[in-house]
Amino acid sequence: MKRFLEKLVEGALLLSGSITSITILLIVIFLFKEASGLFNSPVIEEGYVLGLNKANPVKDLNSYQIKQIFDGEITNWDEVGGKEEPIEVVRLSDLTKYYTEEELGASFENIPSKASELTSKHAGIILFLPKEYIAKNFNGTLLNHETLRPGDFFGGKEWYPTASPSAQYGLLPLLLGTIWVSLGAILLSLPFGIAVAVYLAEIASMRVRNFLKPLIELLAGIPSVVYGFFGLVVIVPFLQESFKLPVGETALAGSIVLAIMALPTIITVAEDAMRTVPRATKEASLALGATQWQTIYRVIIPYAKSGITSAAVLGIGRAIGETMAVLMVTGNAAVIPHTLLEPVRTIPATIAAELGEASAGSGHYQALFALGCILFLITMVISISIEFISKKKYN
Amino acid sequence: MLTIDAKNVDFYYSDFHALKNINLEVEQNKVVAFIGPSGCGKSTFLRILNRMNDLIPGTRLTGSVLVEGQDIYAPGIHVDELRKKVGMVFQKPNPFPKSIFENVAYGLRVNGVNDKTFIEERVVESIKAAALWDEVKDKLKKSAFALSGGQQQRLCIARALAISPKVLLMDEPASALDPISTAKIEELIYELKKDYTIVIVTHNMQQASRVSDKTAYFYLGELIEYDETTKIFTNPQHISTQNYITGRFG
Ligand SMILES: Nc1ncnc2c1ncn2[C@@H]1O[C@H](COP(=O)(O)OP(=O)(O)OP(=O)(O)O)[C@@H](O)[C@H]1O
Ligand SMILES: [Mg+2]
């Protein structure tokens, strides 16, 4: 009977273990499956095509080039590998500049033939039209088969999912935004957190410690919106004032808010690690004439290294994955940041802000999932490498 | 000049009166053994001599303790300087989680010695003085935790010797060791006597009689008897001392 019960408990534990692992695995698979469609989605808006003059040697354009052409930043075909020839952008609404309404027909039935005619006559034209307005015998080259390339995503310098005709899903601004904000947060919180941990573990009297420790642990439980609100009301105006910025919502504001949020975790974990240093080891150091500070940095910190490492990992993890507070204070500008004092936008904030408006299965939706994969990979690489480093040092 | 001179020392753990009016003198290059039943205050008194009790909150001391003529509880005394002069070996070996070499070099490094060749020489000398050299000379870079308990304890002695203290305090240094390691430590104490003044706490009567010149018998926080070791073990003045050394209690 007893044996049977033990087997039962064992089985239950195994089951819950496997269910957990399988669930996590399924989430990861789902994430990557949804994201994988991104590179099969068209560069330009669904249902539209781009038409060029037959003589134009340009046969393909990437997403960013299309955007620049339609924004008027690229004005000559030689900038995208064509002949010296000014670019002439023609959208559906522009057709009226070339033809009168009568010529286009009362119910626009003549648009296909006119569009074809226009394309064949103008050497520098780029025509952007819905598919149904393209005639069977369209006299030009169509660029409708293009799909988004990995370079458009991984090397893309702009995130602008509503851009028309070609939505921009550039990873770089978001990735850099995330890295800047997280790096800033870690640089602020790690030294400070370890200092507080040292103070609590080694210097503070029992009374002070018994008061501060629960307080700090309490801070870890405050929801992130509250931190975001605090950041918005206190830190953002403060930064704007002290650096004389046009806007206070910057990467630095995000870093500070994240640092404050990560502190309780870092302090608690690092302090617990330092308290595991045996009294005998500390006494050995002091008995050899070491001062308290020498004992702290030569014995206690090295001894607690692996604990401090996990404190750092947990802190970074919280910083990289944090969404709400960052969304509130960083200004949400998806541009590549050059200093910490510019508005940025992080990957998690982007996903949170945009997933609601992206229709399932669209390129935008898939791009957001791809961002999720990137986030997953970053945290995985960080924790594996830190684990690796701390193991190597330990041996 | 007396190496250690304690006068009218009373010591309290918060409101617990752990030592009562202790007067004890130790001459240079002598070995003194502290004996007495568990809880009588031997370790407490030993830790007074290098101010290790300072680490325990709520402790208080009255009276005076002179080491080489200097009142170590006087204001303005630097405890780290004092501890350089009064080294300590603990009951359980407590090496640092560092290499054998770095364990011994530690005391030098924290005391501001940077000269690499000097450190190397001193480490080798100390390990030799602690009778450990032959066993570790090929693995100085290895972790100290890879040594046996007895070797670790001799490493801790080497570590204490490296900073050239005047006094060596040993709190039951052999209690966690096997007979062979114990014998090695005892031999070592005999050797070290030439250069150091040694105070050793022990529960082992044979050990006290073998290694020490003088013996102090503590009982319930009081120093009952303090005399030449031969006299304590052959002709104690107090019945309590006699009862203790003959094993009738304790
Ligand atoms: N940190 C402390 N706080 C309060 N009381 C203490 C503390 N350390 C020791 N004591 C008390 O002081 C008395 C003397 O202790 P001490 O450790 O000096 O005894 P000891 O003679 O070394 O005993 P043992 O032979 O068991 O090591 C004991 O009654 C003990 O309970
Ligand atoms: Mg003791």
> Tens digits of per-residue pLDDT, A232-282?
999 999 999 999 988 889 999 999 999 999 999 999 999 999 999 999 999
B118 versus A93: the higher-pLDDT residue is B118
Integer-rounded Cα Rg, in Å, for chain A is: 29
> Tens digits of per-residue pLDDT, A200-212?
999 998 899 999 9
B94–A284 C-beta distance less than 8 A:
yes
Residues of chain A positioned with their CB less than 8 A from the CB of B110: 285, 288-291, 294, 298
Task: For the beta carbon of residue A384, count every other beta carbon within 10 angstroms.
Answer: 10
> Residue with the nearest Cα to atom 28 of ligand 1?
B39
pLDDT-based confidence at residue A393 (cuts at 50, 70, 90)? low
Question: Residue A145: its pLDDT value, please?
Answer: 66
Q: Is B74 on the interface with A (CB under 8 A)?
A: no
Question: Residue A108: its pLDDT value, please?
Answer: 81
Positive or negative CA dihedral for A279, A282, A287, A292? negative
> Tens digits of per-residue pLDDT, B201-221?
999 999 999 999 999 999 999
**A–B: how many Cβ contacts below 8 A?**
65
Residues A338 and A199 in one domain: yes
Q: Residue B91 CA: which ligand 1 atom is closest?
A: 27
Residues of chain A positioned with their CB less than 8 A from the CB of B81: 289
Residues A242 and A389 in one domain: yes
Question: Residue B212: its pLDDT value, please?
Answer: 95
Rounded CA-CA distance B56/A279 in Å is 11
Q: Which of A96, A126, A145 is the last residue of a domain?
A: A145
The DSSP code sequence of A47-83 is TEEEEE-TT-------HHHHHHHHTTS--BGGGGTS-
Ligand 1 pocket check for B15: Cβ under 6 Å:
no
Residues A338 and A385 in one domain: yes
Question: Residue A290: its pLDDT value, please?
Answer: 94
Rounded CA-CA distance A148/A45 in Å is 11
- Is pLDDT at A327 greater than 70 in this prediction? yes
Assigned token pair, A234: 């206190």
Q: Nearest residue of A to residue B143 by CA position?
A: A395
- Which residues have CB under 8 Å from B49's CB, separation 6+? B4, B6, B65, B67, B72, B86, B167, B169, B199
Query: DSSP character for B99?
Result: B
Q: Which of A279, A288, A298 is most worth mutating to test chain B (most B CB atoms within 10 A of its CB)?
A: A288
> Residue with the nearest Cα to atom 26 of ligand 1?
B38
Residues of chain B positioned with their CB less than 8 A from the CB of A290: 80, 106-107, 110
Average pLDDT over residues B10-38: 95
- Is pLDDT at B196 greater than 70 in this prediction? yes
The pick from B12, B40, B91, B203 for probing ligand 1's pocket by mutation, whose C-beta has the most ligand atoms within 8 angstroms, reads B40
Q: Is A356 on the interface with B (CB under 8 A)?
A: no
Sheet holding A48-52, edge to edge: A88-91, A125-130, A48-52, A141-142
Average pLDDT over residues B135-147: 93
- Is pLDDT at A144 greater than 70 in this prediction? no
Residues A232 and A113 in one domain: no
DSSP H or E run through B167:
strand B167-171
- Is pLDDT at A165 greater than 70 in this prediction? yes
> Residue with the nearest Cα to atom 12 of ligand 1?
B18
What ipTM is given for this predicted complex? 0.92
- Is pLDDT at B200 greater than 80 in this prediction? yes
A285–B50 C-beta distance less than 8 A:
no
The C-alpha of B157 sits at a distance from chain A's nearest C-alpha, in angstroms, of 11
Does residue A154 belong to any structural domain of this protein? no
Average pLDDT over residues A370-388: 87
Beta strands B197-201 and B214-219, pairing class: unpaired
Rounded CA-CA distance B156/B104 in Å is 8
Residues A141 and A176 in one domain: no
Q: Are A321 and A379 in contact (CB under 8 A)?
A: yes
- Is pLDDT at A17 greater than 80 in this prediction? yes
- B41 SS3 class: coil
The C-alpha of A302 sits at a distance from chain B's nearest C-alpha, in angstroms, of 9
> Tens digits of per-residue pLDDT, A28-82?
999 999 888 888 888 888 888 888 888 888 888 888 888 889 888 888 998 888 8
Q: Is A205 exposed, middle or buried (0-12, 13-18, 19+ CB in 10 A)?
A: exposed
Does residue A161 belong to any structural domain of this protein? no
User: The CATH number of the domain where A313 resides is what?
Assistant: 1.10.3720.10
Question: Residue B11: its pLDDT value, please?
Answer: 97
Question: Residue A163: its pLDDT value, please?
Answer: 83
pLDDT-based confidence at residue B66 (cuts at 50, 70, 90)? very high
Task: For the beta carbon of residue B157, count every other beta carbon within 10 angstroms.
Answer: 27
The C-alpha of B232 sits at a distance from chain A's nearest C-alpha, in angstroms, of 31
- Is pLDDT at A394 greater than 90 in this prediction? no
Assigned token pair, B77: 């005394």
Task: For the beta carbon of residue A137, count every other beta carbon within 10 angstroms.
Answer: 8
| Ligand minimally distant from the alpha carbon of residue B39 | 1
Residues A186 and A95 in one domain: no
Question: Residue A382: its pLDDT value, please?
Answer: 84
A302–B94 C-beta distance less than 8 A:
no
Positive or negative CA dihedral for B59, B65, B67, B72? positive
The pick from B16, B20, B22 for probing ligand 1's pocket by mutation, whose C-beta has the most ligand atoms within 8 angstroms, reads B16
Q: Are A143 and A50 in contact (CB under 8 A)?
A: yes
Does residue A33 belong to any structural domain of this protein? no
The Cα diameter of chain B in Å comes to 56
Task: For the beta carbon of residue B183, count every other beta carbon within 10 angstroms.
Answer: 15
Ligand 1 pocket check for B149: Cβ under 6 Å:
no
A285–B83 C-beta distance less than 8 A:
no
CA A371, A377, A257 angle in degrees (round to 5)?
Answer: 70
Q: Nearest residue of B to residue A297 by CA position?
A: B110
Residues A230 and A332 in one domain: yes
- Is pLDDT at A18 greater than 70 in this prediction? yes
Average pLDDT over residues A119-128: 88
Architecture in CATH of B2-245? 3-Layer(aba) Sandwich (3.40)
Residues of chain B positioned with their CB less than 8 A from the CB of A302: 97-98
Q: Which of B94, B102, B169 is most worth mutating to test chain A (most A CB atoms within 10 A of its CB)?
A: B94
A285–B52 C-beta distance less than 8 A:
no
The C-alpha of B226 sits at a distance from chain A's nearest C-alpha, in angstroms, of 26
Question: Residue A395: its pLDDT value, please?
Answer: 46
Residues A73 and A138 in one domain: yes
Does residue A21 belong to any structural domain of this protein? no
Q: Which of B52, B106, B152 is most worth mutating to test chain A (most A CB atoms within 10 A of its CB)?
A: B106
Q: Please state the pTM of the whole predicted model.
A: 0.80
Does residue A40 belong to any structural domain of this protein? no
The half-sphere exposure of B123 on its side-chain side, counting CA atoms within 13 A, is 22
Residues A103 and A247 in one domain: no
Range of the domain at A372: 172-394
Total structural domains within chain A:
2
Ligand 1 pocket check for B117: Cβ under 6 Å:
no
Q: Report CA A3 to chain centroid distance, whole Å.
A: 51
